[in-house]
Amino acid sequence: MRYFAAATTAFLIATTPPAFADRGSNLPSANSQPAAATEAPETQAAPITIPEQLITNLQRDFGLTRSQAAGITGNLAHESGNFRMLAEIDGGCYGYSQWCGPRKSRFRSYAARVGGQESFQANYGYLHYELKSEYGAMMRRIRATDDVSQVARIFMKTYLRPRASTANLQRRVRFSEMYLAYRFDGAGCYSHFQLEASNRPAACPEST
């Protein structure tokens, strides 16, 4: 517990802009990134998609199985159009998790200091922060099952909390099962990141 308290204090050092001076403990420091929140080199032998890297990071940083990490990542794929559409089409939400309202404001304030709101660094870094700081009970429930559809349901209902009209659990599960089967076709690219338009990461180039 002593280590956890020290790590939490370091993680939440108030390097926040003035708008967050009264809630510094609710915004992660730009200097407290998870290890794999850094950008990939531009030159990479085989392209790596965003969901592939997310699954890798979630397994390592949270001690998850591949099924558990895929259940989370499939949810984020539904929210972000397979990591190709970061801005909500008919609304104001943004990012892999489609953060809205105060969460979006905090994400954007954080992203401005760690790579920009379109970057993997910012999106994974803020997801990592929220899961570590506010969703410990949910993560324990996720670790208790290796059923990818159950993980998808838990994450959707507890972390994302979508409107009933946009929930579409079946599509979230389909993405999760695709990723579990190593099928990442058409997903936004991590290793060769570029934008095809504003807020729209491009797919990976075809391997030669």
Condensed to tens digits (0 to 9), the pLDDT of residues 154-171 reads: 999 999 999 998 899 999
In a domain, 29, yes or no: no
In a domain, 93, yes or no: yes
Out of 7-21, 73-87, 136-150, 161-175, least confident range: 7-21
Calculate helix-pair angle for 148-155, 169-180, nearest 10 degrees: 130
Over the stretch 34-75, which tens digit does the pLDDT of each residue have? Answer: 754 444 445 556 899 999 999 999 999 999 999 999 999 999
Out of 1-5, 19-23, 71-75, 130-134, least confident range: 19-23
Residue 150 token pair: 């159950």
The confidence band for 181, taking pLDDT boundaries of 50, 70 and 90, is: very high
pLDDT value at residue 30:
61
In a domain, 104, yes or no: yes
Number of domains comprising the chain: 1
> Rg (Cα) of the chain, in Å, rounded?
16
Higher pLDDT: 77 or 165? It is 77
Task: Give me the phi and psi of 156, to 5 degrees please.
Answer: -60, -50
Range of the domain at 76: 51-183
Shortest CA distance to 161 belongs to which of 130, 200, 117? 130
In a domain, 78, yes or no: yes
For position 162, which CATH number holds?
A: 1.10.530
| Dist CA 38 CA 134 (whole Å) | 23
| Dist CA 186 CA 188 (whole Å) | 7
In a domain, 59, yes or no: yes
Q: How many CA atoms within 13 Å lie on the side-chain side of 168?
A: 14
In a domain, 102, yes or no: yes
